[in-house]
Structure 1
Amino acid sequence: MADRTRTRLLNALKSAGPQTAADLATGLKVTTVAVRQHLEGLHRDGLVDFEDLKGSVGRPKRVWALTRAGHRQFPDNHANLVLGLLNGLGDIFGAEGLDKLIAHREEQSRTAYMAAVAGAEDLPGRLDVLAHLRNQEGYMAELVADESGYLLIENHCSICAAATACQGFCRSELKLFKDVLGSEVSVERTEHQLSGDRRCVYRIEPHA
């Protein structure tokens, strides 16, 4: 049970970002005392850290977040193998070879995604399918509606190593989303993990 609670805490901090012990306890439906005990253990292991934020009144609020080591607890699709293959491909075939590989992957994904969204009747339906597909691929995706459209939030990058080595993968995924969702919507990446943000976020808005 203890290991399961630790895993749930790591997942909660990964998917929702920095939180207080009380917020985590509410989300996980356990006591704040139990959460604090587990956070202290994770802190000793170097997986989480905290910051005491001063409010306008009262005591500072302690906010917990994952460390770099904590983020590395999540899978990255065999990073070392991927990096080795990409470096080898670049050495043998150059930038043109990498571009062809990215284009091939994009086309495969486009075919699969377009088939999956074919039965969706409207934009919310297509977005639900897209978020589901991205979740299956390990991106910890969630969809949030707001007053002007939607946010597709990806709390984990399951191809982070490949994208770090070649940011053409990120450009390809943005183009893929635009193709799958159709010309009647705009898609803009507003947060980017490789640019230093905690997650990748795509703002999706219907054209007026």
Structure 2
Amino acid sequence: MNANKDLSTRERILHLMKTAGPLSAKELTTELQITEMAVRRHLGTMERDGLIESKMIRQTPGRPTAVYGLTELAEGLFPKKYHSLTLDLLDELAEESGEDMVDRLFDRRKEKLSRKYMADMQGKTLNDKVRTLSEIQNDNGYMTELQQTDGGEYVLMEHNCPISQIANRYNHACDCELNLFESLLDADVERTECLAQQGKKCVYVIRQRNRQIG
């Protein structure tokens, strides 16, 4: 019960700061109709969690007052419709210039990412490359999980896809990700499950590439 109450109060504080901007503890006390001690307890917890940050402002007359505002982390909790705008723009481009042009954009994005991350792979074993790739994808919001089979294969799972709405419409985005992984890892990569194809997650099986001699 207390946890639900705390969560509700935190949500109300976040909503107030989103709509009214930075607020002092006194202003929040007035808005929430709870004690200032309770407000400061929530503020302390939320500041430690990285959801809000404080700064001092000087009011005339009187001493400087601390006000609290949202961090970038907290801003990310609010609904965003970036994918809708992106899809609208891609649809317009496809209608104007054909879907081949959209595919070219995804190819260029793949090449850009390859240049960005290739230096992180230089001189590493496949094991280290796969772990580096998992960390990169996790930092980019893909919620990765990495396993290694008894046969020496690696299984990279992505439980979230930040561009799933786009990939559902333009499957070439998924092809580019697969090609990017093969390029960065210099390995054979097979996708066995895909979020954009009604899968529960994206799953990549990674194998050491056989070298041909002769």
Shorter-normalised TM range: 0.5 to 0.7
RMSD: 2.3
8 Å CA contact 2:143, 2:159 repeated in 1: yes
Please list the CA deviations of residues 39-98 of structure 1 after superposition, one character each: whole Å capped at 9, or x if unmatched: xxxxxxxxxxxxxxxxxxxxxxxxxxxxxxxxxx99887221111111111112212211
**Bigger radius of gyration:** 2
**Residues 168, 197 of structure 2: 8 Å contact kept:** no
8 Å CA contact retained: 2:147, 2:154: yes
CA contact 2:193–2:202 (8 Å) conserved in 1: yes
Give the unaligned 5+ runs of structure 2. Answer: 9-76
Q: 2:102 aligns with which of 94, 98, 104?
A: 98
- Please state whether the residue corresponding to 2:142 is helix, strand or coil: coil
Question: 1:141 maps to which residue?
Answer: 144
Of 194-203 and 109-118, more deviation after overlay is shown by: 109-118
The one-letter code sitting in structure 1 at the alignment partner of 2:146 is L
Pairing 1:78–2:94 present = no
Task: Tell me which residue corresponds to 1:157.
Answer: 161
Q: Residue 156 of structure 1 aligns to a residue in which SS?
A: coil
In 2: Cα distance, 1:207 partner to 1:161 partner: 32
Q: Does 1:107 align with 2:124?
A: no
Contact kept? 1:190, 1:203, Cα under 8 Å: yes
- Identity across the alignment (%): 32
Partners of 1:77 and 1:158 within 8 A in 2: no
Question: What are structure 1's unaligned runs of at least 5 residues?
Answer: 5-72
- Say if 2:121 and 2:132, in contact at 8 Å, map to a contact too: yes
Q: How many residues align?
A: 137
Change (3 A) 1:142 1:114: same
Considering Cα pairs closer than 8 Å and 6+ residues apart, tell me whether 1 or 2 has the greater RCO: 1
